[in-house]
Every structure is written in structure tokens, then in C-alpha cells.
Amino acid sequence: AQTVTQSQPEMSVQEAETVTLSCTYDTSESDYYLFWYKQPPSRQMILVIRQEAYKQQNATENRFSVNFQKAAKSFSLKISDSQLGDAAMYFCAYSGTYKYIFGTGTRLKVLA
């Protein structure tokens, strides 16, 4: 069965600094997708970035980028130039043939 693990319940970063959130997953599938979602206090789930497993190039979206290591089954999110508005819960998600699975989340605090 597929699993998604986020081992950091909480992280803190100073405003304007860089932070990396970790995510590992387990699957026997070769074709799948990985996502990072952000959930601010409003509870709205917002897609941050997505990565197709067949693509070797790491996805980037403005200040957000991923480090996708397929062999290691690792999918970390890097946030550069952190802003106060980045404070939220961040969920890693795996999407395969039969399941869409979310990790338990990492709460990111941004310190002014």
C-alpha cells in the first residue's frame, strides 16, 4: 500500500530566509504524481506545486521548488525568501492509479 510520511510536525523560519519541508513516500507504482498543498488558517487547501514522477526536472513555482528524488522516494519542498503569508500547514500528497493519499502535514511558522 502507498504511504506518505511527513516527519516534521512543525518548522520555523525567519522571514526572508529559506526553509525545506520533508516528505517521503512509498509505492510500487512507476507512474504517479506528487503534490504540495498549503492550508492557511482559513482552512482552504491551496495547490502549491505538482511533480510528475516521469519528469526528471524538479518543478518550480516562483519562490517554491521541489527536490524530487525518485529512487529515494523523497519529495521535499523548498520555500525561498519566506514571507509572513507562507505561514500555514503544508501537506504532501501522493496520487497514483488507485489512491490519493495525504501526509499528516507540517506546520510552518514564519518569524518576523
Partner 1 sequence: DAGVIQSPRHEVTEMGQEVTLRCKPISGHNSLFWYRQTMMRGLELLIYFNNNVPIDDSGMPEDRFSAKMPNASFSTLKIQPSEPRDSAVYFCASSLAMGYQETQYFGPGTRLLVL
* Under rule CB under 8 A, residue 35 binds partner 1: yes
Stretch that binds partner 1, among 14-22, 42-50, 61-69, 78-86 (CB under 8 A): 42-50
* Under rule CB under 8 A, residue 43 binds partner 1: yes
* Under rule CB under 8 A, residue 32 binds partner 1: yes
Stretch that binds partner 1, among 17-25, 27-35, 67-75, 77-85 (CB under 8 A): 27-35
Size of the site for partner 1 (CB under 8 A): 25
Neighbour count for residue 77 (Cβ, 10 Å)? 23
The answer to whether 47 and 40 are in contact (CB under 8 A) is no
SS (H, E, C) the chain: CCEEECCCCEEEEECCCCEEECCEEECCCCCCEEEEEEECCCCCCEEEEEEECCCCCCCEECCEEEEEECCCCEEEEEECCCCHHHCEEEEEEEECCCCEEECCCEEEEEEC
* Under rule CB under 8 A, residue 42 binds partner 1: yes
Stretch that binds partner 1, among 11-19, 58-66, 75-83, 96-104 (CB under 8 A): 96-104
Q: Which residues bind partner 1 (CB under 8 A)?
A: 31-33, 35, 37, 42-47, 50, 52, 91, 95-105
